[in-house]
Structure 1
Amino acid sequence: MTFAGERAAARRRLVVGGIATALVASGLAACSPEPPTPDSATQALAAALASGDFGEAPFAGGAVDETEATAARTAAFEGLAPWEPQVKVVSTTIDEKDEDLATVTFGYTWDVDESDADWTYETSAKLARDDEDLWRATWSPSLLAPDLVAGEVLTVTRARAERANVLGAGGAVIVEPRTVHRLGIDKTRVAAPEQDAAARAFAAALSIDAEAYAGKVAAAGERAFVEAITVRHGDLAYDVAALAAMPGVNDVTDQLPLAPTRQFARPILGTVGPATAEIIEKSDGAVSDGDLTGLSGLQRQYDAQLRGLPGLTITAAQPDGTAPRQLYAVEPTPGTPLTTTIDVGLQEAAEHVISEVAPASAVVALRPSTGDVLAAASGVGGEGMSTATLGQFAPGSTFKVVTALALLRSGMTADSDTTCPDTVSVDGRSFTNFPEYPTDKLGTIPLRTAFANSCNTAFISARDAANQDALIDAAGSLGLDPHASLGFAAFLGDVPGDSDGTDHAASMIGQGRVLASPLGMATVAASVAHGATVVPRLVVPAEGAATPSPTADETEPSDEATDAPRPVVPLTADEAATLQQLMRGVVTEGGATFLLDVPGDEVAAKTGTAQFGEAGNLQNHVWMIAIQGDLAVAVFVDVGEYGSTTAGPLLEEFLRAAQG
Structure 2
Amino acid sequence: MRFGALLLVPTLALVLTACTEDPPSAKDAAAALATAIAEGDFEGVTFTQANIDVAAHRDAVLEPLAEVEHTVTLADVEVVAEGDDKGKAATATLAYSWEVTDAAPWTYETTVDLALQEPAKGEDGPARWAVAWEPDVLVPGLADGDRLAVTRVRAERGQILGGDGAPVVEPRPVHRIGVDKMNLDPARQDAVAREVAAAVGIDVEAYAQKVAGAGDKAFVEAIVVRQDDTAGIDVASVQAVDGASVIPGTLDLAPTRTFARAILGRVGDATAEAVEESEGKVVAGDTVGLSGLQRQYDVQLRGNPGITVSIVGDGSAGEDTGEDTDLDGEPDPVENVTDVFTVDPVAGVPLATTLRTDMQVAAESVLAGVPSASAIVAIEPSTGNVLAAASGPGGDGTSTATTGKYAPGSTFKVASALAMLRTGLTPESVVSCTPTLSVDGREFQNVPGYPTSALGEVPFRTAFANSCNTAMISQRDAVTQQALHDAAADLGLGVESELGAPAFFGSVPASAEGTEHAASIIGQGKVEASPLGMATLAASVAHGARVSPVLVRPEVTAAADETPTPSSLTADEAATLLSLMRSVVTDGSAVALKTLPGDVAAKTGTAQYGDGSQAHAWMIAIQGDLAVAVFVETGDSGSGTAGPLMQAFLDAPNTGE
Structure 1: gaps of 5 or more residues: 12-34, 551-562
C-alpha contact 1:164 1:307 (8 A) present in aligned 2? yes
User: Shift of the alpha carbon at 1:138?
Assistant: 6.4
| SS of structure 2 residue aligned to 1:516 | coil
Residues 564 and 546 of structure 1: is their aligned pair in 2 closer, same or farther, counting only changes over 3 Å? closer
Residues 530 and 128 of structure 1: is their aligned pair in 2 closer, same or farther, counting only changes over 3 Å? farther
* Distance in structure 2 (CA, Å) of the matches to 1:403 and 1:99: 94
User: Shift of the alpha carbon at 1:398?
Assistant: 0.8
C-alpha contact 2:380 2:386 (8 A) present in aligned 1? yes
Matches within 5 A, 1:87-126: 87=71, 105-106=94-95, 108-110=97-99, 112-113=101-102, 116-122=103-109
* Distance in structure 1 (CA, Å) of the matches to 2:574 and 2:187: 75
Structure 2 residue aligned with 1:588: 586
The residue type equivalent to 2:309 in the other structure is I
1:179 correspondence with 2:192: no
Match of 1:612 among 609, 613, 616: 609
The residue type equivalent to 1:489 in the other structure is P
C-alpha contact 2:74 2:92 (8 A) present in aligned 1? no
The answer to which of 566-575 and 120-129 deviates more is 120-129
Match of 2:371 among 332, 338, 358: 358
Structure 2 residue aligned with 1:646: 641
Point out the structure with the larger helix share. Answer: 1
Structure 2 residue aligned with 1:534: 547
C-alpha contact 1:410 1:466 (8 A) present in aligned 2? yes
Structure 2 residue aligned with 1:159: 153
| SS of structure 2 residue aligned to 1:169 | coil
User: Shift of the alpha carbon at 1:495?
Assistant: 1.7
* Distance in structure 2 (CA, Å) of the matches to 1:285 and 1:652: 52
| SS of structure 2 residue aligned to 1:79 | helix
1:496 correspondence with 2:494: no
User: Shift of the alpha carbon at 1:369?
Assistant: 0.6
C-alpha contact 2:34 2:94 (8 A) present in aligned 1? no
Structure 2: gaps of 5 or more residues: 1-14, 118-124, 315-332
Structure 1 residue aligned with 2:528: 515
Structure 2 residue aligned with 1:307: 302
Residues 290 and 428 of structure 1: is their aligned pair in 2 closer, same or farther, counting only changes over 3 Å? same
C-alpha contact 1:529 1:580 (8 A) present in aligned 2? yes
| SS of structure 2 residue aligned to 1:374 | strand
Match of 1:635 among 608, 630, 639: 630
Structure 1 residue aligned with 2:239: 244
Matches within 5 A, 1:128-527: 145-146=139-140, 154-236=148-230, 237-317=232-312, 324-527=337-540
Residues 255 and 305 of structure 1: is their aligned pair in 2 closer, same or farther, counting only changes over 3 Å? same
The answer to which of 511-520 and 231-240 deviates more is 231-240
C-alpha contact 2:507 2:527 (8 A) present in aligned 1? yes
* Distance in structure 1 (CA, Å) of the matches to 2:436 and 2:312: 85
User: Shift of the alpha carbon at 1:38?
Assistant: 7.7
C-alpha contact 1:354 1:362 (8 A) present in aligned 2? yes
C-alpha contact 1:152 1:318 (8 A) present in aligned 2? yes
The residue type equivalent to 1:608 in the other structure is G
| SS of structure 2 residue aligned to 1:457 | helix
* Distance in structure 1 (CA, Å) of the matches to 2:273 and 2:308: 25
C-alpha contact 2:238 2:244 (8 A) present in aligned 1? yes
Residues 102 and 410 of structure 1: is their aligned pair in 2 closer, same or farther, counting only changes over 3 Å? farther
The residue type equivalent to 1:639 in the other structure is T
| SS of structure 1 residue aligned to 2:572 | helix
The number of aligned residues is 603
TM-score, normalised with respect to structure 2: 0.81
Residues 408 and 143 of structure 1: is their aligned pair in 2 closer, same or farther, counting only changes over 3 Å? farther
Structure 2 residue aligned with 1:17: none
User: Shift of the alpha carbon at 1:537?
Assistant: 1.6
* Distance in structure 2 (CA, Å) of the matches to 1:474 and 1:145: 70
Structure 2 residue aligned with 1:546: 556
C-alpha contact 1:476 1:568 (8 A) present in aligned 2? no
Structure 1 residue aligned with 2:327: none
| SS of structure 2 residue aligned to 1:527 | helix
Residues 345 and 137 of structure 1: is their aligned pair in 2 closer, same or farther, counting only changes over 3 Å? farther
Structure 2 residue aligned with 1:79: 64
The residue type equivalent to 1:409 in the other structure is R
Residues 443 and 193 of structure 1: is their aligned pair in 2 closer, same or farther, counting only changes over 3 Å? same
User: Shift of the alpha carbon at 1:167?
Assistant: 2.4
* Distance in structure 1 (CA, Å) of the matches to 2:279 and 2:261: 28
* Distance in structure 2 (CA, Å) of the matches to 1:136 and 1:463: 94
C-alpha contact 1:301 1:549 (8 A) present in aligned 2? no
The residue type equivalent to 1:494 in the other structure is S
Using the aligned pairs only, state the percent identity: 53
C-alpha contact 2:354 2:386 (8 A) present in aligned 1? yes
* Distance in structure 1 (CA, Å) of the matches to 2:60 and 2:512: 64
The residue type equivalent to 1:177 in the other structure is P
TM-score, normalised with respect to structure 1: 0.80
* Distance in structure 2 (CA, Å) of the matches to 1:314 and 1:339: 35
